[in-house]
Amino acid sequence: MRWRRRPGALPFLGGLLACYLAVPLAAFAVRLAASSRRGFGEPGLLPALYVSAACATISLALTSVLGIPLAYVLSRSRSRVAQVVGVVVQLPLALPPVMGGILLVYLVGPYTAIGGAFGGRLTDSMAGVVLAQTFVSAPFLVVAARAAFSSVEPALLDVAATLGHGETSRFVNVALPAAAPGIRAGMLLAWLRAFGEYGATVILAYHPFSLPVYTFNQFSETGLAATQAPTALALAAAAVALAVSRLRPGATFRELRRRSARVAGGVSGGAPATLAPPAAPAPIRFELDHRQGEFHLLVEHLSASGRLAVLGPSGSGKSTLLGCLAGLRGNGAGGVWVGGDSLGELAPERRGIGYLAQGFSLFPHLRVDQQVRFGARARPELAREWLARLRLEGLGERLPRELSGGQRQRVGLVQALACEPRLLLLDEPFSGLDVPVRRELQRELRELQRSSALSTVLVTHDPEEAALLADEVVVLADGRALQAGSVREVYSRPCSARVARLVGMANIARGQVRAPGLLALPGASIPARTGDLEPGSEVLWSIRPEHVRFRSDERQGCLRGRVTDLVDLGTTVELSVEVAPGLSLLARLLDPPPLQVGSACTLELPADSLSLWAAGGAPVRTAPGAPRRRSSP
């Protein structure tokens, strides 16, 4: 017997409401078809329809011009003033329309200052109808548009800023298209609400008749039959408004622009640009002091290289640091220098910085050829060159949703590079991609760095990615730089156990100095550079898994252990070895000895490969000289 899915309660409940809304319409259609007296010939019907439709359209135009910018500001502000304004905007929704009309009388009535200035013509006129309709309908548009703007990913606006677009340009070219579906819905609701307004209109502007006022008068004077015509016209007007709201003139306009760009050359044709020979990447310097709520970012760094990685856990301030470099946190965030140029006082659109945000670099309404020309300083010929170099030719007509994850990230790179940025900021750009694609893009970016001498700042939580794409690294935690220096320096000699964990070091354990140059572990002692530590001092120590050696013979300073796990990773083999109760070491080898789980083995931990820290977390001084370089003041 074939199983059939039985309908649940949700369709039934939804169907009840749909029936409740549809049955009166069907009953009216039957009555209209059967009636001989519908009221279409009554005087004043068409003028009333004109008054309602014309005033609703004027009201919508006023509400759109004023309300959409207001909704945008409210969506981006968290100030108390914005909260108060948001409440005021929604209050008319809670008022009966008649009371709204009374409030308007206090504002624009014939005996008020505003009404007197207009000679009393703001009431009992079409102007009065517009004012009444706007008061009751504007909240529908503002609320819907505010919700739509709030759903726009802030990273898109940040990317647009770094591409050279100011606040107004970002609003027009990014926020409006991205929020367009919600705004269209709000405009439809506002027009329909204005068209059907009765209570506020009858108080403020009884004459000329709007269609609802006309309908009520007909009902009061002659009964139900004469109301059929205005009701039918109202339904027809609503149907037209619904049909118009479904039109997409913007899509048609973009298609015409796309064809014109293709005919003119766009980024799909023409000779590719010849890139200038690369120079050395400009070094990067920053002195940042920025508060965001309770979080405080306080870090400074002067790089010796133009390729820097900021490594740290989630919540450490990595993205905030990147936003400060781009100017997205305001000019008061601190000083930023690229080479000899100071950028700290410049707005983000004037800094000449490229920005590749995590998963949000492309604008959903633009095709690839529009994406790469979107920057205010974009050069189409340069975009063509980068599209070719990153194997993106032939994708110019596609929208972001039609691209793979790797293609989207490549287009984002071209989008930034087409503007010839002096610095490229990368906010964990490959974290959401599959491992093979991520590795491929990392290699491509590394090649791009070498071939273009592009200065880059990468933020990541992946130590391997930081080492691959940077010459220097800043380890960040809680808004402070724990250590900074070359990748080799930081990774091989972390200044604390916390830094060691953040750069991916395993095998962090406790020990005790037994004698100068000798570290006591549970059940054994091994040679170590204990520096100036006194015997008996408690320490933390660590060794990287690839530095652990297996010995076939036993010698002094080696550890006896037992293999507890063995994992073949394809290119390497990882072994877990228990050397004492509660102490296991991880070893990573290219060519492992013939061992299996349970096998006894001997380990050697070279003294040069051990990192030691005093119990308080300070690095052990193994030779006189300057301490390791740190970035925090």
8 Å CB contact between 162 and 355: yes
Angle between helices 380-389 and 405-417 (to 10 degrees): 140
**What is the band of 626 on the pLDDT scale with cuts at 50, 70, 90?**
very low
Give the pLDDT score at 327.
93
> Taking 50 as the threshold, does the pLDDT of residue 323 lie above it?
yes
Give the pLDDT score at 261.
47
Calculate Rg over the CA atoms of the chain: 35
CA proximity to 438, closest of 544, 359, 355: 359
Q: Sort 618 into a burial class: Cβ within 10 Å, 0-12 / 13-18 / 19+.
A: exposed
> Taking 50 as the threshold, does the pLDDT of residue 633 lie above it?
no
Give the pLDDT score at 621.
58
Give the pLDDT score at 318.
93
* pLDDT mean over 108-127: 92
Q: Is the pTM of this model over 0.85?
A: no
Tens-place pLDDT, residues 175-199: 999 999 999 999 999 999 999 999 9
372 three-class SS: coil
* pLDDT mean over 323-335: 91
- CATH class given for the domain over 284-488: alpha beta
Tens-place pLDDT, residues 416-442: 999 999 999 999 888 777 888 888 888
**CATH 2.40.50.140 at 505-614, yes or no:** yes
Q: What is the mean pLDDT of the chain?
A: 87
95-99, 255-259, 461-465, 473-477: the lowest-pLDDT one:
255-259
**What is the band of 302 on the pLDDT scale with cuts at 50, 70, 90?**
very high
Right CATH number for 45-247 from 1.10.3720.10, 4.10.640.10, 3.60.20.30, 3.40.50.2000?
1.10.3720.10
> Taking 80 as the threshold, does the pLDDT of residue 392 lie above it?
yes
Whether a cis peptide bond, with omega within 30° of 0, leads into 208 is yes
Share of the chain above pLDDT 70, in %: 91
> Taking 80 as the threshold, does the pLDDT of residue 517 lie above it?
yes
Give the pLDDT score at 627.
41
How many Cα atoms sit within 13 Å of 363 on the Cβ side? Answer: 29
CA 454 – CA 448 distance, rounded (Å): 8
Residue listed under structure tokens 């914005």: 82
Tens-place pLDDT, residues 268-289: 444 444 445 456 788 999 999 9
Tens-place pLDDT, residues 191-231: 999 999 999 999 999 999 999 999 999 999 888 888 999 99
> Which 8-state DSSP code applies to residue 306?
S
Neighbouring CB atoms inside 10 A of 404's CB total: 11
Give the pLDDT score at 622.
55
> Taking 50 as the threshold, does the pLDDT of residue 623 lie above it?
no
Give the pLDDT score at 565.
94
- Domain residue ranges of the chain, discontinuous segments joined by +: 45-247, 284-488, 505-614
Give the pLDDT score at 273.
47
Give the pLDDT score at 624.
41
Give the pLDDT score at 377.
92
> Taking 50 as the threshold, does the pLDDT of residue 320 lie above it?
yes
279-283, 500-504, 542-546, 623-627: the lowest-pLDDT one:
623-627
Give the pLDDT score at 582.
83
- Residue 396 Cα distances to 261, 379, 448, 563, angstroms: 11, 16, 21, 55
> Taking 80 as the threshold, does the pLDDT of residue 265 lie above it?
no
Rounded to the nearest 10 degrees, how much is the dihedral formed by the CA atoms of 563, 569, 571, 572?
A: -20
Give the pLDDT score at 529.
87
Share of the chain above pLDDT 90, in %: 59
AA identity, residue 110: P
* pLDDT mean over 9-28: 91
Tens-place pLDDT, residues 548-572: 999 888 777 788 999 999 998 888 8
Give the pLDDT score at 628.
42
